[in-house]
Structure 1
Amino acid sequence: MTTLEFSYSLHKLSGALKPFALKLTRDVDDANDLLQDTMVKAFTNKDKFTEGTNLKAWLYTIMKNTFITNYQRMVRRGTFVDTTDNLHYLNSGDTLVENGAYGDFAMEDIYTAIENLDDVYKVPFMMHYRGFKYHEIADKLEIPIGTVKNRIHIARKLLKEELSVYKHKS
């Protein structure tokens, strides 16, 4: 295959590669960059392409490997290792360090909400939480299994309402 034919084949297949690049990067500009990098690598390594094999599959492989390499490079670039005497590892990226206070407040609110439940709902709910099966709770409390399921359902519903402030917005 001549250089001109190879170049023409690359150009013809570039349209088919664009959706794959978009799927990988989820950004139009990054997808265009990835497509361009793929085409440059393919053209510079045209001597490694075996004529008669699937050019499109070869290009997809180059694109996937280029994406993975760029991603790994980006992750490595975000971390800086301090080699001074005190050997601190610093992360230069924007990171969030949690001190656990939010979790402590949430757990305190959860325990309070459970304590505020009526015993008729709290007891079966806590037994189920501790691992008891519905039939075991029914036997222990001497109530029908349907009542156990209903009370646990109501307890969950009440807790969900009480703790709605912690609902994640997606």
Structure 2
Amino acid sequence: MSATLEFNQMLMSNAEFLKPFAITLTRDTESAKDLFQETLFRALANKDKYNVGTNIKAWLYTIMRNIFINNYRRKSKQNVIFDNSPNDFLLNYRQPTTTNAAVSNLNMKEVQQAIFHLPEIFKNPFLLYFDGYKYHEIADMLQEPLGTIKSRIHFARKLLKSYIQRY
């Protein structure tokens, strides 16, 4: 049996387990169907990245979760709310506001100082993440396991929260 056929059979025999997870993530049947289909498409498109012998369910769950998170981020960046009034207005909810520049500068200085005081082991991965790098890119750059990078960034966030005082 070819590797492609074997992968496809393994994928289809494990695909049903994704449906409840998709509904849990989206809380909407139609969105869950879309997420399910996108996950299967991505799995097929990236079958060369699947390591034979590893847990395919976990691999599929990870793909689904990442698609969901990326879609959520994309939607949140659009900054648009759909108003279900009879006229179907699109409202931009990020209206310009007046900010106090002095307070903003103080808050930014406080954040920068807190980041500066992070231990080096947490500071480097956090700054890379803050600059927009993905976890796997940071892991490659720092030549550390992915889980280690995720936990260091998580711990850096916790430390920053404890350093920064809310007024």
Query: Normalising by structure 1, what TM-score?
Result: 0.46
Q: Which has the larger radius of gyration?
A: 1
Task: Return the TM-score normalized by structure 2.
Answer: 0.47
